[in-house]
Amino acid sequence: MTLHTEASLPRKGRSLRPMPMLIFGSRWLQLPLYLGLIVAQAIYVVLFMKELWHLFGHSFDFSEQQIMLAVLGLIDVVMISNLLVMVIVGGYETFVSRLNLQGHPDEPEWLSHVNASVLKIKLAMAIIGISSIHLLRTFIEAGGLASGKTGYTETGVMWQTIIHTVFILSAVGIAYVDKLSNGAIEAAKQQGAH
């Protein structure tokens, strides 16, 4: 175990040399990207309200299947919006600057332990959720394949199922690699402690 002297520890507020300061400061170039995602979030709110109004306007003349498809469309918009929140909040916190939300009553539970690895897994799970909603809508509408009253083909349904399966396998692969790397880090820490 090594002891750090006061001089060997980095000081808070220490100024950086020009090149490291430029490189470290370049993270702020991501700010317009996150602001753009907030605009996209607002567009999704407008889309949600439009779809909800459409559903409300046709609530007496839609069939049960049409209502179910409209509700799945609303859920899809909400899940994409949740994905946007994860990317905006988690990405900003991880890659740009701390939000300092500790103790705030609305602080997301997952934000306290977010890092690039956790964010990747959460995003993969959100994408699987969104893909599941799309696949469910496809399966519901694919019931009309025999009658020809749907815009889907058997090949299209098959490919959508394959792509969804690839998303799931990718998420499992990401989680497995993350588990391996965390296990290696823990083993190195335990060896360093002995």
Give the pLDDT confidence score for residue 122 in this predicted structure.
80
Decide if 51 contacts 61 (C-beta within 8 A): no
CB contact set of 151 (below 8 Å; sequence gap of 6+): 141
DSSP, collapsed to helix, strand or coil, labels residue 152 as coil
**Tell me: the pLDDT tens digits for 36-87?**
999 999 999 999 999 999 999 998 998 888 898 899 999 999 999 988 988 8
For 59, the 3-state DSSP assignment is: coil
DSSP E strand boundaries for 60-158: none
Q: Are 154 and 145 in contact (CB under 8 A)?
A: yes
Residue spans of the domains in the chain: they are 29-103, 115-194
If you count them, how many residues does the chain have?
Answer: 194
Q: Is-contact 72 137, C-beta < 8 A?
A: yes
The model's pTM is 0.70
pLDDT of residue 43: 96
What is the percent of the chain with per-residue pLDDT over 90, rounded to a whole number? 28
Tokens representing 189 are 């820490």
How sure is the predictor about 8, in pLDDT bands with cuts at 50, 70 and 90? very low
Quick: pLDDT tens for 156-178. Answer: 889 999 999 999 999 899 888 88
Does 121 score more than 50 pLDDT?
yes
Which residues lie below 8 Å from residue 102, measured CB to CB, with a gap of 6+?
A: 112
